[in-house]
Amino acid sequence: MITGIDRPSAGTVTVDGRRIDEMSEEELAVWRGRRVGVVFQFFQLLPTLTALENAMLPMEFARRGSKRERRERALHNLELVGLADMGDRLPSEMSGGQQQRVAIARALASYPTLVIGDEPTGNLDTKTAAEMFELLRRVCDEGATVLYVTHDLELAARAGRTITIRDGVVVDE
């Protein structure tokens, strides 16, 4: 709901003082393109696009920067996630962990102020998961809000704030 992808059946959704539940689909698309980066649990990479093209996609949709600037930003993000040499690969030519890292690079494309992750390190080995968590921590330190859902208790313990939800109900904060 906080990404504006789904709408509430009741109540409101306010992000940074704005009621996103009242925005039109077009307003939400613009808002998401400029403010939100999402790391989906199952990547959601477009299979016919290379890793570089997938990492550029949010900037393309948001019309941010020139084509050269979008390419440079995407290459930089692929480097941040350790995949600088795999920009020309299709998702089908990559492991699940590599695809997960492309999804993280894509989420960071438009300099989002809000990064949402659904098990953002769930498909990664322990070492790479720790590296990606540190990357997300740096993004947070640079001023973005990073919110993630995880079943990994070690990853949850590293968060600045945790909320435990069981069966749809907040049971601990």
* CA–CA distance, 114 with 147 (Å, rounded to integer): 8
**The amino acid at 35:** R
For residue 157, is pLDDT > 90? no
At 52 the three-state DSSP class reads helix
| Domains detected in the chain | 14-172 (3.40.50.300)
**What pLDDT shows up at residue 155?**
82
Range 137-157 average pLDDT: 89
For residue 147, is pLDDT > 90? yes
The predicted-structure confidence for 78-91, as pLDDT tens digits, reads as follows 999 999 999 999 99
**Does an H or E element contain 149, and which?**
strand 145-149
% of the chain surpassing 70 pLDDT: 100
Instruction: Say what the pTM is.
Output: 0.90
How distant, in Å, are the alpha carbons of 118, 164, 166 from that of 171?
A: 19, 6, 6
DSSP track, 72-115: HHHHHHHHHTT-GGGTT--GGGS-HHHHHHHHHHHHTTT--SEE
The predicted-structure confidence for 51-82, as pLDDT tens digits, reads as follows 999 999 999 888 888 999 999 999 999 999 99
151 pLDDT tier (thresholds 50, 70, 90):
confident
For residue 156, is pLDDT > 90? no
The predicted-structure confidence for 17-64, as pLDDT tens digits, reads as follows 999 999 999 999 889 888 999 998 888 999 999 999 999 999 988 888
The packing angle between helices 96-107 and 51-62, to 10°, is: 20
Mean pLDDT of the chain: 92
159 pLDDT tier (thresholds 50, 70, 90):
confident
